[in-house]
Amino acid sequence: MSNKKPALEALAKLAGISSRAGAAASLYFDAQYTGVKMSHADVLVGLSEAEREETKHYLDMIDFLMLARAID
């Protein structure tokens, strides 16, 4: 868990994302888009409570987009 915080901060910086929550959501999106199995719980590990709440909204939107993509 201690390695995840710097990794998310680095991902956020490289991707131009302003928060670790956004970086976590980006990681989840990439996993879903490429077919890698990753759960919401996997993404939320190591985030603060506020970051978890923010990330949950992003993850729900990503799940909706992936569902729409599968239907289309």
pLDDT tens figures, 11-54: 667 666 668 888 888 889 889 889 999 999 999 998 899 889 98
CA pair distance 41, 24, nearest whole angstrom: 11
Structural domains counted in the chain: 1
pTM of this prediction exceeds 0.85: no
Q: Which residue has the higher pLDDT, 60 or 3?
A: 60
User: Which residue type occupies 37?
Assistant: K
Domain that holds residue 20: 4-71
So what's the pLDDT on residue 1? Answer: 47
Helix (H) or strand (E) holding 24: helix 20-34
